[in-house]
Amino acid sequence: MSQLTVRNIPPEIVRALRVRAARNGRSAESEHRLILAQVLESEAADFWVRADARRAQSRKQRSDSAALQREMRDER
């Protein structure tokens, strides 16, 4: 498994992570991994929700451009 080093984390963030880890009965390292995984999974899920919405929108009935051109030509 790879390692990740994050520098210059504000002390209040470090404290909050340690408190959260202790509250959840995990090591700080395990808590960090879980938080990263949850955020990235959530972003991936959001992407697919947006993609599905866009796909549904693009399936709407569109006008036939050839029919519109014929109609305009016939009006002349």
**57 in any annotated domain:** yes
> According to the per-residue pLDDT averaged within each range, which of 32-41, 44-53, 58-67 is highest?
32-41
**6 in any annotated domain:** no
- CA-CA distance, 25 to 6, in Å (whole number)? 23
Predicted pLDDT of residue 54? 84
**1 in any annotated domain:** no
Count of structural domains within the chain: 1
**33 in any annotated domain:** yes
Domain that holds residue 22: 11-75
**28 in any annotated domain:** yes
Predicted pLDDT of residue 46? 84
Among positive and negative, which fits the CA dihedral 54, 58, 61, 65? positive
For residue 42, pLDDT over 80 is answered with: yes
**4 in any annotated domain:** no
Across all residues in the chain, what is the average pLDDT?
Answer: 88
**Model pLDDT for residues 54-63, shown as the tens digit of each residue:** 888 877 666 7
Helices (H), 1-76: 11-23, 28-58, 65-75
